[in-house]
């Protein structure tokens, strides 16, 4: 699979960072967005000031409002916007490799991002990119390793090679399902860990919650048919740890605000929309998911993080699983 031209749909921080990574890898890249100011900023000043501040972008990186004919498309819009974007551009994605980067489950349908793509553009070739990564690090060329999962090993290696640069390293994998579930649910657990810090409950409580979140995540992945091996890699433990411990994570910051008794103005964190979907999915699969249930109580304002942690600590003692 020869890949020389790449389009990234979504000109926010993450989409711009991925476009930067692809450009630094030697690809000809077009960043597709709706905001005329962002398009002008990228093309004239080689910046995306609205989302990445003063970070310089590769001069060869171009921005546009329409999707050109390219070898590879990267979709970098929020999970709840995926369906609308595919409705707009789907006809041009037929028989084309599409890398999905949103970490979330669709409200209502409970579907993963690749399931939405299969429904909207059945002939597109899906890949999933996930792992411990922040947009600022990727755009600045700081060392970042992620997972790229696809169904065909040779094609996955080709896409990974096309995006790999001196500091951005995608490692090929074959468990698309496990990678997607891990990426979506780690945001829910990051809300809980952030709330623990926001409430001042201590690093010990946060670490315990993170570990139990990992166990709960494992139950989801296995029940859906994913590979347990995914959980110990970059897309599993790596991404979960980063999102549940760093204030650079929007989900973690959102949780901190909730834990401190504040109500964030805008639900910019993917985990806010994914939490009720995860709870519905747990019910459908018969999975014991007390942390997902607790995060939903917190988001609904029906309990405090202090009360939630106390409740979790009072659960019957049993063997750790």
Residues annotated as catalytic are: 186
Residue 271, Cβ density class (10 Å: 0-12 exposed, 13-18 middle, ≥19 buried): buried
Residue 301, Cβ density class (10 Å: 0-12 exposed, 13-18 middle, ≥19 buried): exposed
Contact between 274 and 188 (Cβ < 8 Å): yes
List phi, psi (to 5°) of 250: -65, -35
Range 222-243 burial, b when 16+ CB lie within 10 A, else e: eeeebbeebbebbbbbbbbebb
Q: DSSP H helical segments within the chain, as ranges?
A: 13-24, 36-40, 49-52, 82-89, 113-120, 135-140, 153-163, 176-198, 203-223, 228-231, 239-243, 250-259, 270-285, 290-299, 305-313
Name residue, tokens 């399931």.
115
């Amino acid at each position: 699979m020869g890949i020389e031209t790449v389009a990234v749909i979504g000109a926010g921080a993450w989409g711009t960072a991925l476009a930067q990574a692809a450009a630094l890898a030697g690809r000809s890249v077009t960043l597709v967005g709706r905001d005329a100011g962002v398009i002008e900023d990228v093309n004239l000043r080689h910046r995306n000031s609205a989302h990445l501040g003063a970070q310089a972008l590769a001069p060869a990186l171009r921005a546009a409002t329409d999707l050109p004919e390219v070898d590879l498309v990267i979709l970098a819009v929020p999970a709840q916007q995926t369906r609308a974007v595919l409705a707009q551009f789907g006809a041009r994605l037929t028989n084309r490799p599409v890398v999905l980067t949103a970490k979330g489950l669709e409200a209502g349908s409970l579907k993963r991002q690749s399931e939405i793509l299969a429904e909207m553009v059945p002939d597109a070739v899906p890949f999933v990119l996930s792992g411990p990564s922040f947009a600022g690090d990727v755009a600045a060329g700081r060392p970042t390793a992620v997972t790229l999962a696809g169904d065909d090993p040779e094609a996955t290696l080709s896409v990974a090679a096309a995006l790999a640069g001196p500091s951005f390293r995608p490692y090929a994998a074959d468990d698309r399902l496990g990678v997607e579930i891990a990426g979506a649910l780690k945001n829910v657990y990051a809300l809980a860990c952030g709330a623990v810090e926001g409430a001042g409950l201590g690093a010990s409580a946060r670490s315990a919650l993170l570990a139990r979140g990992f166990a709960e995540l494992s139950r989801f992945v296995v029940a859906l048919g994913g590979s347990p091996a995914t959980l110990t890699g970059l897309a599993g433990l790596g991404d979960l740890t980063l999102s549940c411990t760093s204030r650079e994570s929007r989900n973690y910051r959102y949780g901190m605000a909730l834990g401190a008794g504040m109500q964030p103005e805008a639900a910019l964190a993917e985990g806010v929309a994914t939490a009720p979907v995860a709870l519905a999915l747990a019910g459908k699969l018969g999975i014991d998911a007390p942390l997902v249930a607790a995060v939903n109580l917190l988001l609904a304002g029906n309990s405090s993080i202090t009360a939630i942690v106390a409740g979790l600590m009072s659960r019957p003692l049993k063997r750790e699983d």
